[in-house]
Amino acid sequence: MDTNRVARYVGGGQVAIVQEEAPVCPEGGLLVQTLASGLCSGELMDWYMEKKAPHVLGHEVCARVVESQDPRFPVGTTVFPHHHAPCLRCEFCENGRFVHCEQWRRTKLVPGGMAETFGVPAGNLNDTLVVDGLRPVDAALIEPLACVMKSLRFAGVQESDRAAVVGLGVMGLMHMLILPRTAWAYDLNPSRIEWAQGHGLKASTPDEATVADIVFVCPGSQVAFDFALSIIAPEGTIVMFAPLGPGQDLKVPQSAYFNDITIKNSYSCGPNDTKLAYEALKAGTVKAEQVVSNFIGIEELPTAYGSMKRGEILKPMVIFE
């Protein structure tokens, strides 16, 4: 294949499907053919995307190896490659703080996962999994589900905890699918509440909320945090799953101090979390149909991008074959 169709964010909230020169196999790495690639909610944030434009989308991926320079991943193998992977040797890695490793920050898929083919550099193979036997649409969810696994791990959720989730976008849904079925989720969007309830999850509007011991805040907003603070029990834990925008600092009232509230942040994930996510997907705990509303071709992505950004659809995933 001499050319390669890619979905490129070109700025101004717009995505274009363009033909570019096909990538080559990175030294010591893999060249892969994409099978499925999901659109991440983080790729909708203007403040994040504008500084990267023009940028090829896609890091929620499953692909088939077409050229390999690593015997662990033979040609024909189906893989999940994380777009960031740690060195596994530095002080941060030795302490399990993978996302703070310098290599983790440098690594990336080339040119990106929302492309017909892409390269997986040798460094990324430290967090690449063989996923033969798992449906590509499920394997493409390993990265976002791994972020949820880290969030739950940081929170230290116990079966007896009263857990709550703020926000029923894809990441909120994934939290709910892993949490005990006693957990409740809250959203203002009736269609999201209906979607969650249709998958057997407890969901309602914020005005019906009850006290919780642990609250996961999925939208990056002060309003969402304030709501979490209004329902958290004394000595409870609030997990901030997403950042606020540039120039916005989280305002924490003194009541959090006097109620012994723990506030944790959970950013991305490491190889330990991707393995847990893979096991959950393999066990059928999470299925693509529970969190993906639109399975589409790559040419449909520009329209789907706008629809997801406006909240008209939950999540699109591009199927390449």
- In the chain, which residues fall in CATH 3.40.50.720? 148-265
Q: How far apart are the C-alpha atoms of 302 and 99, rounded to whole Å?
A: 30
pLDDT digits (tens, 9 = 90+) for 108-118: 999 999 999 99
Residue 1 — pLDDT band, cuts 50, 70, 90? low
- In the chain, which residues fall in CATH 3.90.180.10? 3-141+292-319
**Average pLDDT score, the chain:** 96
Q: How far apart are the C-alpha atoms of 118 and 4, rounded to whole Å?
A: 9
pLDDT digits (tens, 9 = 90+) for 73-117: 999 999 999 999 999 999 999 999 999 999 999 999 999 999 999
Q: Say if residues 211 and 226 touch (Cβ distance below 8 Å).
A: no
Residue from 53, 36, 29 nearest 110 by CA: 29
List residues bridging with 32 in a β-sheet: 65, 118
Percent of the chain topping pLDDT 90: 93
- Please give the pLDDT value at position 47: 86
Tell which CATH architecture fits domain 148-265. Answer: 3-Layer(aba) Sandwich (3.40)
Tell which CATH architecture fits domain 3-141+292-319. Answer: Alpha-Beta Complex (3.90)
CA quadruple 147, 151, 157, 159: dihedral positive or negative?
negative
DSSP states of 287-306: -HHHH--EEE-GGGHHHHHH
The answer, yes or no, to whether residue 247 has pLDDT greater than 80, is yes
Q: What is the CA radius of gyration of the chain?
A: 20
